[in-house]
Structure 1
Amino acid sequence: MNRAVFTSWADALLGTDRNQRVRMTQALVASGIYAALSVIVGLGVLLGLVEPRPAAALAVTVLGVSAVFLALIRSGANLRFASDPALTQAQGFFCVLAACACYVVAGPFRGAILMTVMIGQVFGIFALTPRQARRMATLGVTALGITMTAGAFWDPVRFPPRIELLNFLLIVLMLPIIGWLTGTLSAIRNKLRQQKVQLENALQQNRLLATQDELTGLSNRRHMTTLLVAERGRQQRNRMPISMVLMDIDHFKRINDGCGHQAGDQVLQIFADVITHGLRTGDALARWGGEEFLLMLPNTTAEDALICVERMRGQLAARSFEHIAPKLTVTFSAGIGVCTVDDRTDAIIERADRAMYRAKTAGRNRTVVA
């Protein structure tokens, strides 16, 4: 069969959502077991071991309810049951009831029907909690015990009490063990799932730490270096200039010493926020070190970069820092270096750095173009 056709057929039957496909597959397997059970009971009818009418009623009921479970999952109605979207408990309860009915109908080979209850317990590994698994095992033992007792009491010829006692003891031995194993495996599975989520979160955190400055949320020096390499590659194609702006907050040491390091951290965060809001798509800002920030402006001439930086200077001047310290104002000095196709990146950053220091020497709170 063509792979595309097979995929289309599988999507039509199981859906496209990964979790729903798993639930639908499990329900289909359960339906297949019920269908096979109905065929076996039907064979018993042909062999004269099972009465036709009860067998037919059982097959119709079992397959009908199984179809209802399939329809609920395929339509997405099962998602309303957030605690058990696979309907595992409901299907498990139904499996117990179906096994009890089949036990009554099956005739001489009813002992083999007990296997279906155990299969239902095993299905619980995928979703049941240990408590739910124990509850399912208790239900199985209780329901089959009542069925066997009623059969031995009302029809001891078809349900010999001694044989029913042995069957019941077998159920008492096996179902609690299977229920315990199911709960244990389910707990292990849930723990592994939680550990996977924790590992993914830790990996995500590590990725952020590798690319992001923890205090300001900006790119760190390493990530900015990567961005510069990528932008230089694009510059080779479009031949447009890249402006590098190195900015340093004026008298930052005085802010730290006079107001405290916590105030200094707040200043850095506000500065990063102000500058970031003035950027275009494609621009990049990084904390280059301490109170220094590197701004990359692709496809930007020195004149346009100067206009951009002065606009940011005005936005920073309009920002109040009174909540940090009375009469506190924050300014910055900036140096601009323009990178052409033939320039080295480190040389341009060095040129911007020298221009920034000229701005500081000239009185701070100004921008110098290299």
Structure 2
Amino acid sequence: MNRAVVSSWVDAVLGTDRNQRVRVTQSLVASSLYLGLSAIVWLGVWMGVIEQLPAAVLASAVLGASVVFYAVIRSGRNLRFTADPALTQVQGLYCVLACSAAYAVAGPIRGALLMLLLTGQFFGAFSLSPSQARRTSLVAVVAVGLTMGWCAYTDPVRFPPQVELLTFLLVALVLPTIGWLAGKLSAMRNKLRLQKAQLESALAQNRLLATQDELTGLSNRRHMTALMMAERARQHRSRSPISMVLMDIDHFKRINDGCGHQAGDQVLQIFADVITHGLRAGDALARWGGEEFLLMLPNTSADDALVCVERMRGQLAGRSFDHIEPKLAVTFSAGIGVCDLEDRMDTIVERADRAMYRAKTAGRNRTVVA
């Protein structure tokens, strides 16, 4: 058969959503158990050890419930139950009722059918909380106990009270133990899920820190270097200039020493915010180190870069730093280097660095073009 046809059939039965497919599959596994239960009961009818009418009622009930559970999950209506979208607890409780009913009508094979209760308990380990798993096992003990007591009271010949009592004691011993184990598995699963989420969060944070300066939120030196290489490759195709601007905050050590390192951090953050708001789409700004910032301006000549930097200087001059230190004025010196096709990016950054130091020597708060 064509693989595409098989795939379409599988999608039609299980759906395409990954989480829903898991839930539908679990429901179908439970349905196969109910189908097997019905087959065994009808085999007992054929052998003459089980009455036909109770068997028909039981088979209709369990198979009908299987269809209902499958339809609810396959249609997506189960998603309304956010606490238990797999309907595991509801299906587990129904399994308890089905097994209790089967016990009452299964005649001499009734003891063997109690094994289905164990299967239902283990289903709960995949979705139920530890407390829910324990409650389900206790409900199972009570339901089976009531069934055994009713059968022994109404038909002591077929259900000898002594045998039913011993069977109940065994059920009361095993089912809570299974419920406890299912709860432990559930707790372990929840712990692993939490650890996985924490690991994914830590990995995402590490990936972010690998490309981002933690204080300013700008690209760090490593990420900026990668951006420069990518822009350099585009330049070979577009034949357009790239301007690199190295900016250094003037007298930053004096701010740090006089106002404190926390004030210095605030100055760096405000400076990064002001410069970022003056960028175009495609421009890139990075904290290059300490109080130095590197700005990459693609498709920009030296003259246009100078205009851009001076506009940013004016925006910074209009920003108040009085909340850090009254009358504090923050300025910067900048050097501009233009990357032509034959230049190396690191050479241009060095050129911008030398131009920036010439701006410092010339009196600061100015821009020099290399």
Fold conserved (TM > 0.5)? yes
Larger mean Cα displacement after TM superposition, 137-146 or 275-284: 275-284
1:78 maps to 2:75: no
1:309 maps to 2:305: no
Measure, in 1, the Cα distance between the counterparts of 2:245 and 2:73. Answer: 57
Residue 351 of structure 1: CA displacement?
Answer: 0.4
Measure, in 1, the Cα distance between the counterparts of 2:187 and 2:9. Answer: 34
The residue correspondences of 1:1-370 to structure 2 (distance < 5 A) are 1-370=1-370
Residue 295 of structure 1: CA displacement?
Answer: 0.8
- SS of structure 1 residue aligned to 2:114: helix
Q: Alpha carbon RMSD of aligned pairs, Å?
A: 1.6
Question: Identity rate of aligned residues, in percent?
Answer: 75
Measure, in 1, the Cα distance between the counterparts of 2:331 and 2:70. Answer: 67
Residue 287 of structure 1: CA displacement?
Answer: 0.5
TM-score relative to the length of structure 1: 0.95
Larger mean Cα displacement after TM superposition, 48-57 or 87-96: 48-57
Larger mean Cα displacement after TM superposition, 175-184 or 68-77: 68-77
- SS of structure 1 residue aligned to 2:316: helix
Larger mean Cα displacement after TM superposition, 3-12 or 346-355: 3-12
Deviations 1:218-263 (A, max 9, x none): 1111111122122222222222221111011112122112222111
Residue 302 of structure 1: CA displacement?
Answer: 1.6
Measure, in 1, the Cα distance between the counterparts of 2:16 and 2:145. Answer: 42
Measure, in 1, the Cα distance between the counterparts of 2:304 and 2:42. Answer: 85
Residue 118 of structure 1: CA displacement?
Answer: 0.8
Residue 174 of structure 1: CA displacement?
Answer: 1.8
Residue 2 of structure 1: CA displacement?
Answer: 3.5
Amino acid corresponding to residue 115 of structure 1 in structure 2: M
Amino acid corresponding to residue 313 of structure 1 in structure 2: R
- Structure 2, unmatched stretches of 5+, are none
Measure, in 2, the Cα distance between the counterparts of 1:190 and 1:305. Answer: 55
Measure, in 2, the Cα distance between the counterparts of 1:157 and 1:82. Answer: 48
Residue 103 of structure 1: CA displacement?
Answer: 0.9
CA spacing shift, 1:4–1:306, aligned 2, 3 Å: farther
Measure, in 1, the Cα distance between the counterparts of 2:7 and 2:316. Answer: 57
Measure, in 2, the Cα distance between the counterparts of 1:114 and 1:48. Answer: 21
Larger mean Cα displacement after TM superposition, 27-36 or 316-325: 316-325
Residue 190 of structure 1: CA displacement?
Answer: 1.2
- SS of structure 1 residue aligned to 2:333: strand
- SS of structure 2 residue aligned to 1:126: coil
Amino acid corresponding to residue 77 of structure 2 in structure 1: A
Larger mean Cα displacement after TM superposition, 4-13 or 250-259: 4-13
CA spacing shift, 1:338–1:78, aligned 2, 3 Å: same
Residue 364 of structure 1: CA displacement?
Answer: 1.9
CA spacing shift, 1:369–1:7, aligned 2, 3 Å: farther
Amino acid corresponding to residue 263 of structure 2 in structure 1: A
CA spacing shift, 1:297–1:5, aligned 2, 3 Å: farther
Larger mean Cα displacement after TM superposition, 159-168 or 207-216: 159-168
Residue 18 of structure 1: CA displacement?
Answer: 2.1
CA spacing shift, 1:8–1:243, aligned 2, 3 Å: farther
- SS of structure 2 residue aligned to 1:213: coil
TM-score relative to the length of structure 2: 0.95
Amino acid corresponding to residue 206 of structure 2 in structure 1: N
Residue 150 of structure 1: CA displacement?
Answer: 0.7
Amino acid corresponding to residue 329 of structure 1 in structure 2: A
